Amino acid sequence: MDTTTTAQDVGSKVRAYRQMRKMTLRTLAEQAEVSVSFLSQLERGASGASIPTLRMIAEALGLTLADLFSDETASPHRVLRAADRPTISTSSVDKFMLTRRPLQNMEVLEGVVHPGGTVGSPSYTHGDSQELLLVLSGTIRLVLNEEEYLLTAGDSAEYRSSFTHCVINETDEDVRVLWIISPPSL
């Protein structure tokens, strides 16, 4: 593939994502610290951009640099099939991403906490996001800044991810939970 085609593809993607987010050229240019005329030329494929500049544009759009080069078509509708979910597994928990990257406003994970399993630690924090924990089935112990709460199916807790937090399954059955984090901080 030649560089003109690549520049046109990237420019088209930038335009599509900008329009999906209802951002003006000026707004995106300001957030990405580039000129409006440069951004307009990039979107039309009349100009290329350096990797650092593309990274700043991608970040302003809530994307990763790789998203601008992926074969996926920019779309406001994003479907993630269960079989394609990114998964993080340890001996204590299986976490399934329910939201596709790039994430701008929130991320949602389903977790299966195994018997005796612990997620986090008494000193665990990440970022400074709003986090919602919903227990889908079973019973867990939630430790927030040294305060303990016993949560059962249907119970939820809301807290800042900058507070120390830990989820413990003290039962002999898997417990299913849902984490919603805004903005994404994992």
Nearest CA to 74 among 121, 38, 20, 125?
20
pLDDT over threshold 80, residue 157? yes
The chain-wide mean pLDDT, for the chain, equals 87
Alpha carbons within 13 A on the beta-carbon side of 81? 2
Higher-confidence residue of 14 and 80: namely: 14
Find the helix packing angle between 25-32 and 3-20, rounded to 10°: 110
Instruction: Give me the pLDDT at residue 177, please.
Output: 98
33 part of a folded domain: yes
Closest C-alpha to 51, from 35, 37, 68: 68
How many structural domains compose the chain? 2
- Binning pLDDT at 50, 70 and 90, where does residue 151 land? very high
**Together in a domain, 91 and 157:** yes
One domain, residues 11 and 92: no
Task: Identify whether residues 101 and 173 lie together within a single domain.
Answer: yes
- Is residue 143 assigned to a domain? yes
Residue 104 and residue 183 in contact, taking contact as beta carbons nearer than 8 Å:
yes
Six-digit token string for 130: 């709003």
Residue-number span of the structural domain to which 20 is assigned: 3-69
What amino acid occupies position 155? D
Q: Is residue 31 part of a domain?
A: yes
Residue 75: inside a domain, yes or no?
no
- Residues 57 and 28 reside in one and the same domain: yes
> Do 10 and 60 fall within a single domain?
yes
Q: What is the CATH number of the domain that holds 14?
A: 1.10.260.40
Once rounded to an integer, what is the mean pLDDT over residues 154-177?
A: 96
Can you give the pLDDT at residue 75?
60
pLDDT given at position 69: 78
The pLDDT assigned to 104 comes to 64
Is residue 10 within 8 Å of 43, Cβ to Cβ? no
pTM of the full structure: 0.64
